């Protein structure tokens, strides 16, 4: 069903992140207020690989967690119909992070994020990242939608 997919153009409309920090290329299996699967294609051209590590490139674990968090933000944005001009989704907490398999150039991350609790604009999630069908990382995390503060002029 086409309504459960979020293409790159919609990701760009729903998330404020941009290169080099946008870590979700597209999403599928979207169920409003319930779950989503984010997709990240890892390439050798990622800006972190020259330093992590030049001879044996590995995607930093913290960026895998960030990719799960961005997938959760995408779920929140579409579920709540949040405009990036008026609200920002902020990462609140993270627990139980485990890394099981390194992500390397050529891998495709499938970040399955499920809502475990919601109260208003606050969501709690369980995220699991898979590479080739194998669990690579997992975490419990929370995020909230907050009004964008206008800069002082």
Residue 122 exposed, middle or buried by CB count within 10 Å (0-12, 13-18, 19+)? middle
Per the CB < 8 A criterion, the answer to whether 63 and 107 are in contact is: no
State how far the Cα of 55 lies from the Cα of 83, in Å rounded to an integer.
42
**In angstroms, what CA-CA distances link 110 with 41, 84, 121?**
9, 24, 25
State how far the Cα of 98 lies from the Cα of 93, in Å rounded to an integer.
15
CA angle 1–129–120, rounded 5-degree value: 70
110 catalytic? Reply is no
pLDDT in tens, the chain (153 residues): 568 999 999 999 999 999 999 999 999 999 999 999 999 999 999 999 999 999 999 999 999 999 999 999 999 999 999 888 888 999 999 999 999 999 999 999 999 999 999 999 999 999 999 999 999 999 999 999 998 876 666
Catalytic residue among 17, 44, 52, 110: 52
State how far the Cα of 139 lies from the Cα of 52, in Å rounded to an integer.
22
pLDDT at 149 (0 to 100)? 75
pLDDT at 151 (0 to 100)? 62
pLDDT at 91 (0 to 100)? 96
């Amino acid at each position: 069903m086409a309504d459960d997919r979020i293409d790159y153009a919609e990701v760009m409309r729903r998330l404020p992140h941009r290169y080099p920090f946008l870590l979700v290329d597209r999403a599928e299996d979207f169920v409003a207020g319930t779950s989503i699967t984010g997709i990240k294609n890892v390439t050798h051209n990622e800006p972190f690989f020259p330093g992590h590590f030049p001879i044996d490139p590995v995607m930093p674990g913290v960026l895998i967690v960030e990719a799960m968090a961005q997938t959760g933000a995408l779920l929140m944005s579409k579920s709540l119909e949040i405009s990036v001009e008026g609200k920002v989704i902020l990462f609140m907490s993270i627990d139980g992070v485990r890394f099981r398999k390194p992500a390397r150039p050529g891998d495709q991350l499938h970040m399955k994020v499920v809502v475990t609790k919601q109260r208003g604009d606050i969501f709690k999630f369980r995220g699991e990242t898979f590479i080739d069908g194998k669990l690579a990382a997992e975490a419990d995390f929370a995020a909230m939608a907050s009004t964008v503060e206008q800069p002082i002029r």
